[in-house]
Amino acid sequence: MQIATWNVNSLKVRLPQVIDWLQTSNCDILALQELKQDNDNFPLKELNELGFHCAFNGQKTYNGVALISKHPIHNITMDIPNYTDVQKRVISATINDIRIICAYVVNGESVGSDKYSYKLEWLNQFHNYIETTLEKNEKLVVLGDFNIAPNDIDVYDPLAFAEQILCSTPERMAWNNFITLGLHDSFRLFNQEPRQYSWWDYRNFAFKRKLGVRIDHILISEEVRQLALKCEIDITPRRNERPSDHTPVVITLK
């Protein structure tokens, strides 16, 4: 059983790549972020015809998240309950007895900006939502674009990124608060190497120059950790024509 996360930066543009990747990877559950389209435009018919179940929470132009699954999707929850947020960033559901939370965390633009304040408040609300969910679901996977590089090893130039967006102490504290809940950074359970990135800026040939950041993550509860066989970043889609700036991260469970 494979579960993956991928920020596609426009599902409209990336749909052929998503379908191609679903078929070549043989992934069971794919969590998408940054659909950048409203629900009326979600390619439901096309994905259904290929045998996938879908749940989606989109909006025009920005944000938007979805779950695409070979298995039926149950108990779908949109957004963070009891937190008023017009931006569509979260969708949760149960698939094969595993509770899945797919998130597109606020980017935050730059430290000290209004968007940064929103990011920190959003992360606090998200933490509370995960905590509540964990009380009711032993098998939990929280995955998506976290827009946080947890440690200096996750950044190509730690000095340049020090206390900047994606790497600031308050953001990393928010990440550590997820870990304190008992969740594991599944990628680092299996790989301690540097230069393991999930996002590369479109500008300055960042991908070719291997200047990336690891900001897309799969957090797993202890009960899921017992099932985990591996977690890998698949950089092949980043080599596509007209790629997303992010690439998929995939966990394999027993």
Partner DNA sequence: ATGGTTGTGCGACAA
Candidates 1, 2, 10, 158: give the one binding DNA (CB under 7 A): 10
Question: What residues have CB less than 8 Å from 133, skipping those under 6 apart?
Answer: 92, 99, 101, 140
At closest approach, how far in Å is the CB of 196 from DNA? 19
Residue 193 has phi, psi (to 5 degrees) of: -75, 150
- The reply to whether 62 sits near DNA by the rule CB under 7 A is yes
Question: With binding defined as CB under 7 A, does residue 210 bind DNA?
Answer: no
> Shortest gap between Cβ of 181 and DNA (angstroms)?
25
Residue 154 CB, nearest distance to DNA (Å)? Answer: 16
Quote the least distance from Cβ 173 to DNA, whole Å: 21
* Closest distance to DNA from the beta carbon of 34 (Å): 7
Query: Which range of residues in 50-58, 69-77, 182-190, 196-204 is near DNA by CB under 7 A?
Result: 196-204
109 part of the interface to DNA, by CB under 7 A: yes
CB-count exposure of residue 78 (10 Å: 0-12, 13-18, 19+): middle
Q: Find the binder of DNA among 40, 45, 61, 97 (CB under 7 A).
A: 61
Stretch 224-253 residues interacting with DNA (CB under 7 A)? 242
Q: Which residue stretch of 55-63, 175-183, 184-192, 219-227 sits at the interface with DNA (rule: CB under 7 A)?
A: 55-63
**Does residue number 48 form part of the binding site for DNA (CB under 7 A)?**
no
CB 115 to DNA: min, Å: 5
Give the residues lining the site for DNA (CB under 7 A).
9-10, 12-13, 36-37, 60-63, 106-107, 109, 115, 202-204, 242
